[in-house]
Structure 1
Amino acid sequence: MLNLTSPKRREKLYKDESIVIKEADKGGGVVIMNKVFYERKILNMLQDPVYYRTINANQEKKTLAKIKQLVSGPSSGNMTAKEKDYLTNFDTSESQFYGLPKVHKSSEIKNAIHAQKGEYICCPNPEDLSFRPIVGGPNCSTQRLSHIYPDLLQDRFEKEFILEGLRIILLNNTFAFGKDHFIQTKGTAMGTKVAPTYGTLTLGYLEQKLHHQLATLWGEEDAESIISKWKRFLDDCFILWNDNVDRLSVFQQLLNGLGSNIRFTMESSDTKLPFLDVLVIKEDTKLSTDIYYKSTDTHHYLHFASCHPHHTKTAIPYNLARRLCAIVSDDNTRDIRLKELKSYLIKQEYPETLIDNGILKAKGYTRSELLSTKSQENKTEIIPFVQTHNPRNYNLTSIFHQLNNILKDDISTKRIYKDVYDWCLNMVISKRFKPPDGAEQLLAKVHHSPEFTTNQFSQSQGKIVTLTEGMSTHERVLPNCNEYQHFLLQENCARKIHVHFRRQKDLFKETFQQKLFFCEGFQRK
């Protein structure tokens, strides 16, 4: 049994160089592996010449030079000087490769779970354990270009620029594992934000190709019927098949003939079949749905004593119950699943009253209401203020309200960004908390290169970040909260803010300019 409540125990486990700790690919479990076993498995993956190739050294600077050549070329069109500077003028660091253990696909682990029936399962070095490859690096050379790709699909950008930028991202995905350097030679560039978009567009094109082939083979009416029953989420597909089984085999052959590098595996059943987290059940001519959990799912929800904002923890029972009420179609089965959920949450020390209230609130909606899609047409465009949660921090909302007039009238801050009052008001209204790393995240942390950059901007979240070693980030708009609580409420605050802003030029002025540039240059249509 692991008792991680003691910082000394966590530190001892963290520094143990004979083991590797990773979160399971699915199910929420934590996996402790022998380091030699883990490294052997990962190196076996990286030695596949079809997908990876060893390179001599870090190639981040060479890749960044290609991006600079791209943005300075004729195809960059109406790209502004600030946009070019954002894409090319930053310090890079090499991405790191690691693997998340797919415990749900290991027969040895499943057998151990069935035999041991405990909260902690011992299954040393299972040879059939595979890993999900992950490339992680917040500051690789292609990351910024990849992050702004959805916004490049605008009329002011040339088609040649979009395609060449995509080639750079896909063909220059380099990373390190240990002291060795590798480049991905096949497949969508792992770890890039553009990868899901690129994959979805590819499958969308293949679906159009499939429709044409079905119409040629079986006629337009049958093709329309099959496509209307075909459902897909990214690369997971589902279809209701009313035709004969022989045609189903032909259909799979058509799918696998759409592209030389794509292969569909198929699972079929006359009674029930899982799709994502939904179990579809067929009884005669009637379909019903139930929640689907993998056998390796730990139901390890956030512990109520965890250092997270109170409103986050109080919302968990309701949101989990709401999910069950939306998925489970039969009322009796739904009530059974809600009782199971209550037992899982009690193990995580959630108050029973809080759980009951969350379940009661979720059951107050009809299933059709829960399944309906809410309109996003009138959604206000705002810049969120994000900070790492710390229960000892002061509430910054009241401080920002007191600062509004000072920031609005001060000569120095007027030059930093436009319409200070409205910006600050929106920022306060849209306050968000980033949870701190828990014990699992700290123990399973990936060690990136120490060449990290401070005061960099996270494009994916639209916020200012300071990158620290590993995967964690500490977001802030102003420095130390305790310092500012004392500092901002003193007399002659405007004069002191003016002096302090000059002292904190790199932290405040440049990062806010970068933040506003990104939102205006790439996000606003």
Structure 2
Amino acid sequence: MKRKTQNHNRIHEFLIKELETFVIRHKLTIKESDKNAGICVMKTTDYNAEIIRQLSDETIYRPSTNSEYLMKMEEFTDKVRYLSNWLFKDLKIKRIMPINHSPAKFYILPKIHKKFVSFPVGRPISSTKKSINKGIAMLLDTALQVLSFHIPDLLIDSPHLLLLLEHLELDPNRKYILVTADISAMYLELPIHICKQNCIKFFRENANKINFPFPINEAQLKILLDLCLDYSFLEFENNIHFQHKGIQMGNSASVSIANITAAVELENLKSEFVKFLRRFIDDIFMIVDITDLETSIPEWLDSFFKHNFLKFTYEYSERQISFLDLNINLDENNKISTSIYRKPMSKHEFLHFSSNHPKHLLKSLPYSSGLRVIRSCSDNETKNKELELLMSKFSLRGYPNTILKPIKQRLDSIIRSDILIPKSKLLIHHLSLHNPEILSHYNRTTPNLITPSNGVYIVFPFCNNIHGMGKLTKTMFLQELIYRNHNTLRKCILDLNVNIAFSIPNSINRFIHCVNANHRKQVLNE
């Protein structure tokens, strides 16, 4: 099977080496931009200067040394071994600690979607893939994810917001405004001790309502938070720094910690004028009744978004505002409608039909994209225009009419209310806790989030000539076990859910990011 699925490079190796040489000799850096706005080609000096500017902020980072890093790693190892023998005896956390570790690799994603003069500000990312507390952070996140479902104002995704808006009724005789707000640099502005306090406080208030994936108490949670947040070392160009404020953007538990911390900090973000408020990590959407507002709207919003250390930016409108991937509209009768929002930097391009991807994936793209249009557009006229535009874009990307025409006919027959039915376990679980009336409207029951998984993932290079890889793999397992008379194992194999994943195809972008160090030195020496 491996021999038949070898995926040869579509780009000649000579061209790749020439491109690598060009990039190195001209001292260029190629990175993805923030918000998936495209690929950035930059002078390495400009890119490094922006990173050094950020790391020079001593309120967040401080210079460190390799000796301090090694000393702290020994301290971390001793703690884990000690705690593993009594407090975490069942979890055996020392087994998830890597033998070979290194500080997080620091890099930035240029924010080209925002105005800049000479070089855009970069979003700081710490790649913790090889950090010593990677496994601890993943374990902590498993518990915090379940805990975060008890945040009432939390948004799971866009379908969650659409469901809430669909069942929201506003008084037609009142005057409302739509407000969106953003917590500026939330991950960097959160004090670490506040993160720990808020997570423990929220755990104490909600632990008795939750069936955690593994047994955990308050003392264990505190130790996991310490191990996760107190060893935030990062490295750039062989220089080690320590992040003493905020959460590393790249830490496995960062989103859950930020969500819970913000939920506790924003508990007082309430007012009789706010009729609807939901938050997606650091983005907030509100509907405010301004009929009886005694001050001006900006003055009221400034006082409403006042906090000790969190800073907010906001926008408001009486008729239309964008939030996540939606345009939210309010008509004269205070009826809410929605449509798709496209960011100005979006390229609006889909995968080309001639791309080396499974055909079932290519054929499913127009249909799944059409379902998103139907779900997001509450007005039929807007929906029809968006579907026509969508089909024309796929046609430009090489998709034949023999595929697009039946898909368009199928999409035209779909009713939006059927698309809005909550399906994901996470969404249904959150609705069951905070909006059970929506679930009862759609006759949905609450699933069990903590179910044992019998999934097995096998990664192959993609090949057009082999189909039904999952079924074929399972059949081969069974034939071998039947031959060896392993009846017990045979039953286990029958219960397996074999999933086939294809490895990332070769591309110019991938080769540039993986330039061989020896080749780089050789080029520079020449």
8 Å CA contact 2:105–2:126 kept in 1: the answer is yes
* Residues 172 and 449 of structure 1: CA distance in aligned 2, closer, same or farther (over 3 Å): farther
Classify the secondary structure of the residue corresponding to 1:274. Answer: strand
1:279 aligns with 2:327: yes
Classify the secondary structure of the residue corresponding to 1:266. Answer: strand
Deviation at 1:7, TM superposition (A): 4.8
* Residues 408 and 100 of structure 1: CA distance in aligned 2, closer, same or farther (over 3 Å): farther
CA deviation string 1:286-337 (max 9, x = no partner)? 3321211111111232222333222222211111111111111222222222
Give the whole-Å Cα distance in 2 for the aligned partners of 1:278 and 1:58.
50
Which residue pairs with 1:173 in the alignment? 232
Which residue pairs with 1:494 in the alignment? none
8 Å CA contact 1:60–1:92 kept in 2: the answer is no
Which residue pairs with 2:489 in the alignment? 420
Give the whole-Å Cα distance in 2 for the aligned partners of 1:346 and 1:49.
52
Deviation at 1:266, TM superposition (A): 0.6
* Residues 253 and 58 of structure 1: CA distance in aligned 2, closer, same or farther (over 3 Å): farther
CA deviation string 1:423-454 (max 9, x = no partner)? 43444x4413144145264056377999xxxx
Which residue pairs with 1:136 in the alignment? 127
Which residue pairs with 2:285 in the alignment? 238
Give the whole-Å Cα distance in 2 for the aligned partners of 1:253 and 1:408.
72
8 Å CA contact 1:324–1:338 kept in 2: the answer is yes
Deviation at 1:80, TM superposition (A): 3.6
Which residue pairs with 1:325 in the alignment? 374
Q: TM-score, normalised by structure 1?
A: 0.69
Give the whole-Å Cα distance in 2 for the aligned partners of 1:449 and 1:88.
28
* Residues 160 and 437 of structure 1: CA distance in aligned 2, closer, same or farther (over 3 Å): farther
Unmatched 5+ residue regions in structure 1?
108-125, 215-221, 451-525
CA deviation string 1:123-151 (max 9, x = no partner)? xxx52512111112422111100111144
Which residue pairs with 1:84 in the alignment? 93
1:147 aligns with 2:215: no
Q: TM-score, normalised by structure 2?
A: 0.69
1:353 aligns with 2:402: yes
Give the whole-Å Cα distance in 2 for the aligned partners of 1:254 and 1:350.
50
Which residue pairs with 2:316 in the alignment? 268
144-153 or 193-202: bigger deviation: 144-153
Question: Which amino acid in 2 is paired with 1:403?
Answer: F
Which residue pairs with 1:398 in the alignment? 472
Classify the secondary structure of the residue corresponding to 1:168. Answer: helix
1:46 aligns with 2:105: no
Give the whole-Å Cα distance in 1 for the aligned partners of 2:75 and 2:16.
43
Give the whole-Å Cα distance in 1 for the aligned partners of 2:505 and 2:40.
17
Classify the secondary structure of the residue corresponding to 1:325. Answer: helix
* Residues 444 and 204 of structure 1: CA distance in aligned 2, closer, same or farther (over 3 Å): farther
Deviation at 1:60, TM superposition (A): 5.9
2:243 corresponds to which of 184, 195, 210: 184
Give the whole-Å Cα distance in 2 for the aligned partners of 1:163 and 1:446.
38
Which one has more relative contact order, counting CA pairs under 8 Å at least 6 apart?
A: 2
Aligned pairs, number: 409
Give the whole-Å Cα distance in 2 for the aligned partners of 1:405 and 1:249.
73
Classify the secondary structure of the residue corresponding to 2:305. Answer: helix
Give the whole-Å Cα distance in 1 for the aligned partners of 2:91 and 2:278.
42
1:374 corresponds to which of 418, 423, 445: 423
1:203 corresponds to which of 262, 277, 290: 262
Question: Which amino acid in 2 is paired with 1:255?
Answer: F
1:13 corresponds to which of 16, 19, 32: 19
Give the whole-Å Cα distance in 2 for the aligned partners of 1:237 and 1:448.
43
Unmatched 5+ residue regions in structure 2?
1-9, 145-211, 426-446, 519-526
* Residues 161 and 44 of structure 1: CA distance in aligned 2, closer, same or farther (over 3 Å): same
Aligned-residue RMSD, C-alpha? 3.2
Deviation at 1:393, TM superposition (A): 7.7
8 Å CA contact 2:34–2:123 kept in 1: the answer is yes
2:217 corresponds to which of 158, 161, 165: 158
Which residue pairs with 1:312 in the alignment? 361
* Residues 165 and 60 of structure 1: CA distance in aligned 2, closer, same or farther (over 3 Å): farther
Deviation at 1:373, TM superposition (A): 0.5
CA deviation string 1:105-129 (max 9, x = no partner)? 136xxxxxxxxxxxxxxxxxx5251
* Residues 380 and 425 of structure 1: CA distance in aligned 2, closer, same or farther (over 3 Å): same
1:436 aligns with 2:495: no
